[in-house]
Chain A
Amino acid sequence: MADPLPEIDRDLIGREFDRTVSKPVSAERMIRYARACGETNPRYLEDGPNLVATPTFPITVRRERFVPEGIPMEVMYRGMDAGKDVEIGVVVRPGDVLTGVGSLHDIYDKTGRSGKLRFVVLRMVVTNQRDEMVAVIDQRMMFR
């Protein structure tokens, strides 16, 4: 019987497929995000020299491409969001220019109560204008 799970070229693993440079981050956007998260700490909410973004702010960086060119979007539409791991680096301050570099990080299979599952991990490494690591975001997609 044919494998019903999507076949994805493993040669794509590790290859950069997107590099998106954001506009400078505004204090207003950082504060709006912090409010949406329910933050009450003034360091995330009060504009001024001490303002920094909340640690999860880098997940707001959007890539221009979501998946590598070799993977049709129809394939990804079959997947479910299986969560994110975020490694947090240096803090984000107003005026920072964030660059998100996307790559296919891993493909692996596992078996669960409902049968065989395939996971695709899309990684985005976010850096600032000083090339410091701001975050490494691993987005898992699950197929069954």
Chain B
Amino acid sequence: MILDLHAHSNASDDSRAPIEGYLKWLQKKREVVPVDGIVLTEHRQWSSEVDYRDLEDRYDTLILRGAEVETDYGHILLYGVTDEMARRFDFTDVHLRAQEVVTEVDRMGGIATPCHPGRPSIGLCEHYESKPALEGVRAVEALNGGSRRGENERVRGVMDEYGYKGFGGSDAHLVSLIGICATDFAADICDIDGLVRELRDGSYRAVDFRERVRAARG
């Protein structure tokens, strides 16, 4: 099962992509981007009130939700977010302490995974050059669709050194970029608990569809 674990809809301040736009695009491009579901990871926010079941049914695509928060070790994707987590941490704070986030989110039943680790300033790799490694990190975003040349390549070293698993996400902010990088899970996933379980202990790998997308454009 292939999921894009990192996407931003127009609920994020820097994205103009409607969720339904992503779903229509995937429906149309499934042969090029064979993604079964997406995870919306809006910047610095969480709301338990939204419900996408109607869209899931209409487009036959799994829609899960997480969040992208900002910490002293760069940006971190949270999966399995709960209202308790949102009360524990002010998601709008761009100075969250990464170690607390990783430890507490894990304790509360979720998983915190550094994203685009190879990026300057907001990626884990740069912070590991001057600060101790975080304890409790299980996986990082090994493949990010929004990264510049060299940034994804930089992640390999950290994964090897610390034994992190790697997943992929498009980091789409525009409709046409959804699913360009994603994660292929050995198991089927049908809800957020399943995603957290698989990210913690399951088998998965990052998959890159960028070349296929470029080829399809002609």
Interface residue ranges, A against B (CB under 8 Å): 108-116, 119, 140
Q: Which of B14, B70, B121 is A113 in contact with, Cβ under 8 Å?
A: B121
Task: Determine whether the beta carbon of B92 is less than 8 Å from that of A112.
Answer: no
Task: Determine whether the beta carbon of A108 is less than 8 Å from that of B122.
Answer: no
Q: Given the complex, which residues of B lie within 8 Å of A140, measured CB to CB?
A: 13
Interface size on B, residues (CB 8 A): 13
**0 or 1 for each of B6-25: is its CB under 8 Å from A? (1 = yes):** 00000001100000000000
Q: Knowing that A111-B74, A111-B75, A111-B122 touch, tell me 11 more A-B residue pairs with CB under 8 angstroms.
A: A110-B70, A110-B94, A111-B70, A111-B121, A113-B119, A113-B120, A113-B121, A113-B122, A114-B121, A119-B13, A140-B13
Residue of A nearest to B70 (CB): A111
A111 to B74, CA, bound (A): 8
The main secondary structure of chain B at its interface with chain A is loop
A112 to B92, CA, bound (A): 14
Interface residue ranges, B against A (CB under 8 Å): 13-14, 43-44, 70, 74-75, 92, 94, 119-122
Q: Given the complex, which residues of B lie within 8 Å of A111, measured CB to CB?
A: 70, 74-75, 94, 121-122
A112 to B70, CA, bound (A): 10
The main secondary structure of chain A at its interface with chain B is strand
A114 to B13, CA, bound (A): 18
Q: Given the complex, which residues of B lie within 8 Å of A112, measured CB to CB?
A: 121-122
Residue of A nearest to B74 (CB): A111
Task: Determine whether the beta carbon of A115 is less than 8 Å from that of B94.
Answer: no
Q: Which of B14, B94, B120, B122 is A109 in contact with, Cβ under 8 Å?
A: B94
Task: Determine whether the beta carbon of B44 is less than 8 Å from that of A110.
Answer: yes
A112 to B94, CA, bound (A): 10
Residue of A nearest to B75 (CB): A111
Return B111 CB to nearest CB of chain A, in Å: 21
Q: Which of A111, A112, A119 has the most CB of B within 10 A?
A: A111
Return A144 CB to nearest CB of chain B, in Å: 11
Residue of A nearest to B116 (CB): A113
Q: Given the complex, which residues of A lie within 8 Å of B119, measured CB to CB?
A: 113
List 25 A–B pairs whose Cβ atoms lie within 8 Å, in order of A's numbering. A108-B13, A108-B44, A108-B92, A109-B92, A109-B94, A110-B13, A110-B14, A110-B43, A110-B44, A110-B70, A110-B94, A111-B70, A111-B74, A111-B75, A111-B121, A111-B122, A112-B122, A113-B119, A113-B120, A113-B121, A113-B122, A114-B121, A115-B121, A116-B94, A140-B13
Q: Given the complex, which residues of B lie within 8 Å of A116, measured CB to CB?
A: 94
10 closest pairs, A vs B, by CB?
A: A109-B94, A111-B70, A111-B94, A113-B120, A111-B122, A113-B121, A115-B121, A113-B119, A110-B94, A112-B122
